[in-house]
Amino acid sequence: MLSNALLVGLMTLAAASGLAVLRVAQPDRRARVPRGLLPACSITLAASVAAVFAVAVHDDVAPTAHATPTISRRASLAEVLNLVSASTTINHVPRDLVPPLSHVSDSSNFGAPPGQCWPGVNSSTVPACAFGDTTSTRTMVLYGDSHAAMWFDALDDDARSAHWKLDVISKGSCPAVDLSVHAPLARGEWAACDEWHRFARARIAQDRPQLVVVSQALTYGAPDGTLFSTVAWQRAMATLLQALPGRKVVIGDIPFGGNLDCLLAHPTALQRCSRAAPPAIDQAEQRAARTAGATFVDTTPWFCAARCSVVIGNYSPYYLAEHVAVGYSEFLEGVLSKAIGL
């Protein structure tokens, strides 16, 4: 019979492999498969198989670390930075890891909005998707791709606490900037994304928001597959921000990290999975924000000190390496709220 660890590993492999190809939304906010995450986000089957058997090998290796005290979801910036700094010395998976090690690849760790507000690959519209304090006269829009949607869970709580209505306008693999990109997992024109841009701009104008929060991945390619230049991306971002109403905030993309296979394979040697912190924040989006009079939020210090670790405190902060896991985004609610000026 298969060991419990191997069974967990096989389920993890199935989930990870499925997410590489599935584009099916689920209506339950806490149990949904993210659709069209990021064109550059891929799962390597061979590495996942290795991780499955690594879990089985470590079935009898119990981490010796003590349970880490959980810090409030309204943690201060100082608390976050201290926890991130200490993460470079963590070698053992905490017993109270959030989420548990057996569930780090679950789609519920992606904090996107409910299914009806998360359009499919061929969809170019969504119904009105109001969250937060829906009775408020102050409206905030969250606009972008899956790298915007990953902040939904935290921003929904922040908006409710600060008495803002939150309108979510996000589409996986379709950036906020008005550039034509290739379809997910294939080269060629993606008409639904181009149509989505027109819909999104009209919806934002209709909302007349006091605040627009924009976030997106940075590794998009044109229909022929070539990546956009820094100059083209900066120009498109500045044009977008200048056209948006109200106060504008750009949440910079998170640093790449969170190798799931490594985390599963080395639960007692986690620093083998860490990577050097990126040398600088994204200059193109920061310059575009400055040009348009928008606020740019650098998220790198929320994840990395000298290095970016796969465990911060008792949190596994990444989902599929390129997205913040919902548990860690909730931990960051306090610093996120302050950073965007709520």
Torsion sign over Cα 234, 211, 144, 205: negative
What is the C-alpha separation between 298 and 281, in angstroms, rounded? Answer: 7
The single residue listed with the structure tokens 């921000």 is: 241
Per-residue pLDDT of the chain (342 residues), as tens digits, is 434 333 334 333 343 333 333 333 333 333 333 434 444 343 333 333 333 333 332 322 223 333 444 555 679 999 999 999 999 999 999 999 999 999 998 999 998 899 899 999 999 999 999 999 999 999 999 999 999 999 999 999 999 999 999 999 999 999 999 999 999 988 899 999 999 999 999 999 999 999 999 999 998 999 999 999 999 999 999 999 999 999 999 999 999 887 788 999 999 999 999 999 987 677 899 999 999 999 999 999 999 999 999 999 999 999 988 999 999 999 999 999 999 999
Q: Which two tokens stand for residue 138?
A: 């102050």
pLDDT of amino acid 210: 98
CB-based contacts of 242-246 (< 8 A; 24+ apart in sequence): 242/291, 242/292, 243/201, 244/143, 244/204, 244/212, 244/214, 245/204, 245/205, 245/208, 245/209, 245/212, 246/208, 246/209, 246/210, 246/211, 246/212
In 10 A of CB 256, how many CB atoms?
A: 16
3-state secondary structure of 144: strand
pLDDT of amino acid 241: 98
Q: Which two tokens stand for residue 180?
A: 């034509």
Torsion sign over Cα 99, 101, 102, 108: positive
Q: Which two tokens stand for residue 136?
A: 């408020």
CA 25, 31, 33 angle in degrees (round to 5)?
A: 35
Amino acid of residue 186: A
Residue of 18, 23, 52, 55 whose CA lies nearest to 36: 23
What is the C-alpha separation between 266 and 128, in angstroms, rounded? Answer: 44
What is the C-alpha separation between 71 and 143, in angstroms, rounded? Answer: 29
Domain layout of the chain by residue ranges: 4-339
Q: What is the pTM of this model?
A: 0.81
What is the C-alpha separation between 228 and 247, in angstroms, rounded? Answer: 27
What is the C-alpha separation between 69 and 67, in angstroms, rounded? Answer: 6
CA 279, 283, 288 angle in degrees (round to 5)?
A: 165
Pairing of strands 318-319, 295-297: unpaired
Residue of 225, 204, 226 whose CA lies nearest to 213: 204
pLDDT of amino acid 72: 57
Q: Which two tokens stand for residue 194?
A: 């181009």
Distances, alpha carbon 302 to alpha carbons 205, 239, 279, 297, 312, in Å: 32, 28, 15, 11, 10
CA 41, 42, 48 angle in degrees (round to 5)?
A: 135
What is the C-alpha separation between 73 and 329, in angstroms, rounded? Answer: 9
